[in-house]
Amino acid sequence: MRADTVAQAEASPAALQPFAELGLTEAEYARIAGILGRRPTSAELALYSVMWSEHCSYKSSKVHLRQFAAKAPPSAALLAGIGHNAGVVDIGQGYAVTFKIESHNHPSYVEPFQGAATGVGGIVRDILAMGARPVAVMDALRFGPAAAPDTARVLPGVVGGISFYGNCLGLPNIGGELDFDPCYAGNPLVNALCVGVMRHDDLQVAAADGPGNAVILFGSSTGPDGVGGASVLASAAFGASGASEAAGQAGPAAGEAGQAVGGAAGEAAAKRPSVQVGDPFLEKLLVECCLELYAAGLVVGIQDLGAAGVACATTELAAAGTGGMRIRLDAVPLRDASLGPPEILMSESQERMMAVVAPDRVRAFLDVCAKWEVRAAVIGEVTDTGRLVMTWHGDTVVDIPPGSAADGPVYDRPAVRGPDQDALADADPAALPRPADGGALRAALLTLIGSPGLADKSWVTDQYDRYVRGDTVLAMPEDGGLIRVDEETGLGLALATDGNGRYCRLDPYLGTQLVLSEAYRNVAVTGARPLAVTNCLNFGSPEGRPPP
Amino acid sequence: MRIGVITFPGSLDDRDAARAVRLAGAEPVPLWHADRDLRCVDAVILPGGFSYGDYLRCGAIARFAPVMSELVPAAGSGLPVLGICNGFQILCEAHLLPGALTRNAGLRFVTRDVRLRVENTGTAWTRSYQPGARITVPLKSGEGAYVADAATLAGLEAGGQVVLRYDGGNPNGSAGDIAGVCNAEGNVVGVMPHPEHAVGELTGPSADGLGFFAPVLR
């Protein structure tokens, strides 16, 4: 396959490129050209488009999220904080815990089963990349009205996907939430949490340090799943037909950019699933393989592959390390031989990890992978050039300063107070009708306990394995989950997830305080002392139109 | 007493089975699917999980693992073998036990603490129970419905080869409420519920499952 090379980019500065279809603004496209001193190649354009997407760069939320690090009270327990794949806290006796929660909302609406399944898989790899053994998962779910026809499609699919992936992976599901509200019709929330346990010394870094060290891609082979945008690039070839018909479909959807951008030009591409397909068996092998690699001291740095796949892993590892990396994209194991550089960079094929390994440890690394029947390939090495250079059968197709892709633009978007916020604040709940006698009170009580949000959840939770690993002390329907960490000392770990969309709709600031307070209480009633919090904020598009 | 626990790719409850063996006072010995070596153990447990992802048919790939070429003749010579959940499925696929495990009647994965009646206390793994004992043990499976043809079922009943029966409700549509069976000799036992998850009140519904891991000590 011929690829758009750096030499071609220099020779054809005026070539039209489908940056808008990939979700980049004209100003962002110009900024990329400014960084490179030429137009980007199609592979570079693919890389910047996914790295600068809202999903990967947090370009619209960064200015707000900075408050977390700036305002958090200092804690001696914090071993790794904001900026890492997941936070790590000390829980005593030499143990540390890492936990993280992420959304997989858009894919779970498009294809509930695989969308929810790969949501579990993705968060587990984040925890694994920190050096920890994943020990439990939780899920916070929101659906439209229980009686709505589409909820009957989405809810069983989501629950089935979580059950399929989590059970097969061997992680106990120890709690979470399930609630219904009309505002989630057509926009369900599927938030997956994973918690991992490690010894303090086990902490791994996501950095490509040490010139000459090998870069190894291992786990699943790379396929065309989740490449919608790049398919435009590959088939449109700068102004040819195809780009225009796919426009509008391929742009990353705000909030979940790059996760489930369906749509692609061409008949073959149209048949591809727009949501990635999960393989929990391979993920289980990947977990055991990684933990054995860590224990043998064979890893210098490691990163999971999630959104933006190889593009994200290479740029972030390089940017956080010595600074340079040389990658042979043609060395990436493919499950579809027709893929070119842009698609390989953007592919979101699941169950993949990238490791940085000292040259004299590569043989031992590959042996451990072979033991677990995990495919591994050396695809490049760390350099001290400060450039991320990628070749395709000898031709250079990417040559960028990695930090420019890893640290995207930052926007302070205009914000206005919602037009109905004052009316909501003024509404007096005292004016609501109240039960006047015992009969009305009884009816109100029955309505409450019969409502889907409060009713028995065992139809859902019976589909999750809460026993596997044999360390589950508390799980559903308890307020918080509790996992034993050490059999000898009895050290344990409690977790709860909470959210309250209605409180936050009425008053975002106070509502969020109440949500945190509820989570603290749910942990406290297990007997544990609350130690750390994380969050998963699910908002609409930051570029959405202001309300009328 | 050394009890081997086989780890296949995708085994999940191997660690839990080893813990149960330890709590019962024996020494757990890890066995690896790719090794044709039982390491001179006195008994073997095939743990729960999703060997090879259960992608083809539960247990259908694991039965061809190299370690099985050692296990099958050893079981034929009287070695005590216990298959739990996926291990039960593997033993059926390997024809060490009759019948098969199929999709639950409700077509969904079921996690539930189930009450069981111990029907046969003469097997290598159930000697510590009183005949007819009621025990509570977690069940967690998507393909746990035991099926066999009518002649096989009649033979199992007549020969006392039904080891465990669901008591007070059949959670998955198993024929005859069967939750566990043994071979004619009683040294090979397969159970769908997980006794290794009922070894203490802290992490399980009871300690009723411990009895499975102690009797082979005798």
Could you tell me the CATH number of the domain that includes residue B130? 3.40.50.880
Nearest by CB to B203, which of A163, A282, A484? Answer: A484
Express each pLDDT in B103-156 by its tens digit. Answer: 999 999 999 999 999 999 999 999 999 999 999 999 999 999 999 999 999 999
> What's the confidence (pLDDT) of residue A473?
97
Domain range holding A173? 85-203+416-425+439-524
Q: Which residue has the tokens 């307070």?
A: A517
Active-site option among A55, A84, A200, A393: A55
Average pLDDT over residues B20-29: 96
Are residues A462 and B110, on separate chains, in Cβ contact within 8 Å?
Answer: yes
Are A359 and A500 in a shared domain? no
Q: Does B13 reach chain A within 8 Å, measured CB to CB?
A: yes
- What is the least distance, in Å, from the CA of B218 to any CA of chain A? 26
A372: chain B residues, CB-CB within 8 Å: 9
Phi, psi of A490 (to 5 degrees): 80, 10
Could you tell me the CATH number of the domain that includes residue A339? 3.90.650.10
Are A477 and A508 in a shared domain? yes
Residue-wise burial string across A339-364, b where 16 or more C-beta atoms lie within 10 A, e elsewhere: bbbbbbbbbbbbbbbbbbbbeebbee
Are residues A471 and B110, on separate chains, in Cβ contact within 8 Å?
Answer: no
Domain range holding B154? 2-217
Q: Does B95 reach chain A within 8 Å, measured CB to CB?
A: no
Q: Does A277 reach chain B within 8 Å, measured CB to CB?
A: no
Are residues A281 and B109, on separate chains, in Cβ contact within 8 Å?
Answer: no
Are A171 and A218 in a shared domain? no
- Residue A122 near residue A518 (C-beta atoms within 8 A): no
Quote the number of domains for chain A.
2
State the pLDDT confidence band at B92, using cuts at 50, 70 and 90. very high
Are residues B9 and A471, on separate chains, in Cβ contact within 8 Å?
Answer: no
Are residues A167 and B19, on separate chains, in Cβ contact within 8 Å?
Answer: no
Query: In which residue ranges of chain A is pLDDT below 70?
Result: 1, 228-274, 545-548
Q: Would you put residue A407 in left (φ > 0), alpha (ψ -120 to 50) or beta?
A: beta
d(C-alpha A291, C-alpha A124), whole Å: 13
- Residue A143 near residue A128 (C-beta atoms within 8 A): no
Are residues A470 and B52, on separate chains, in Cβ contact within 8 Å?
Answer: no
Beta bridge partners of A482: A474, A494
**Rounded to a whole number, what is the largest CA-CA distance in chain B?**
43
Q: Count other C-beta atoms under 10 Å from residue A244's C-beta.
A: 14
Residue A186 counted as domain residue: yes
By C-alpha distance, which of A12, A23, A20, A17 is closest to A238?
Answer: A17
Locate the chain A residue with the closest alpha carbon to B15: A469
- Residue A295 near residue B23 (C-beta atoms within 8 A): no
Locate the chain A residue with the closest alpha carbon to B52: A281
d(C-alpha B116, C-alpha B126), whole Å: 13
> What's the confidence (pLDDT) of residue A246?
33
d(C-alpha B115, C-alpha B108), whole Å: 20
Q: What sign for the dihedral angle of Cα A11, A17, A23, A27?
A: positive
B15: chain A residues, CB-CB within 8 Å: 469-470
Residue A303 counted as domain residue: yes
Residue A54 counted as domain residue: yes
Q: What is the DSSP string of B128-181?
A: TSPTT-EEEEEEEESS-EEE--HHHHHHHHHTT-EEEEE-S--SS--GGGEEEE
A467: chain B residues, CB-CB within 8 Å: 111, 138, 140, 194, 197, 203-204
Are residues B15 and A473, on separate chains, in Cβ contact within 8 Å?
Answer: no
Q: Would you put residue A309 in left (φ > 0), alpha (ψ -120 to 50) or beta?
A: left
Are A195 and A219 in a shared domain? no
- Residue B215 near residue B124 (C-beta atoms within 8 A): yes
Quote the number of domains for chain B.
1
Are A271 and A402 in a shared domain? yes
- What is the least distance, in Å, from the CA of A86 to any CA of chain B? 25
Are A28 and A49 in a shared domain? yes
Locate the chain A residue with the closest alpha carbon to B19: A470
Q: How many CA within 13 A on the CB side of residue B71?
A: 31
Are A130 and A143 in a shared domain? yes
Active site residue A200: no
Which alpha helices (DSSP H) does A60-148 contain, by range? 62-71, 105-110, 112-129
Query: Does an H or E element contain B89, and which?
Result: helix B86-93
Nearest by CB to A469, which of B10, B15, B204? Answer: B15
Residue A531 counted as domain residue: no
Torsion of CA B3, B6, B12, B17, to 10 degrees: -10
Q: Does A467 reach chain B within 8 Å, measured CB to CB?
A: yes
Are residues B111 and A462, on separate chains, in Cβ contact within 8 Å?
Answer: yes
Residue A256 counted as domain residue: no
- What is the least distance, in Å, from the CA of A132 to any CA of chain B? 17
Residue A213 DSSP class: -
Of chain B residues 106-145, which have a CB less than 8 A from chain A? 108-112, 138, 140, 142
Are A290 and A352 in a shared domain? yes
Q: Does A462 reach chain B within 8 Å, measured CB to CB?
A: yes
Could you tell me the CATH number of the domain that includes residue A507? 3.30.1330.10
Q: Which pair of structure tokens corresponds to residue B205?
A: 């519904």
d(C-alpha A229, C-alpha B70), whole Å: 52
Beta strands in A255-364, from DSSP E residues, in sequence order: 301-304, 324-328, 352-357
Q: Which pair of structure tokens corresponds to residue A492?
A: 């344990």
Are A198 and A211 in a shared domain? no
Locate the chain A residue with the closest alpha carbon to B34: A371
Q: Which pair of structure tokens corresponds to residue A500?
A: 């309250």
- What is the least distance, in Å, from the CA of B181 to any CA of chain A? 23
- Residue A354 near residue A313 (C-beta atoms within 8 A): yes
> What's the confidence (pLDDT) of residue A417?
87
State the count of interchain CB pairs (< 8 A) between A and B. 82
> What's the confidence (pLDDT) of residue A260?
31
Per this entry, what is the length of chain A?
A: 548
- Strand pairing class (B134-141; B110-118): antiparallel
Q: What is the DSSP string of A58-75?
A: -TTTHHHHHHHHHHSPP-
Are A44 and A91 in a shared domain? no
Residue A285 counted as domain residue: yes
Are A49 and A174 in a shared domain? no
Active-site option among A64, A104, A106, A200: A104
Residue A69 counted as domain residue: no
Residue A40 counted as domain residue: yes
Locate the chain B residue with the closest alpha carbon to A481: B203
B54: chain A residues, CB-CB within 8 Å: 168, 281
Q: Does B32 reach chain A within 8 Å, measured CB to CB?
A: no
What order do you get walking across the sheet with A133-143 strand by strand?
A78-80, A87-92, A95-103, A189-199, A133-143, A173-180
| Average pLDDT value over all residues in chain A | 89
Catalytic residues of B: 85, 194, 196
> What's the confidence (pLDDT) of residue A295?
97
d(C-alpha B108, C-alpha B161), whole Å: 28
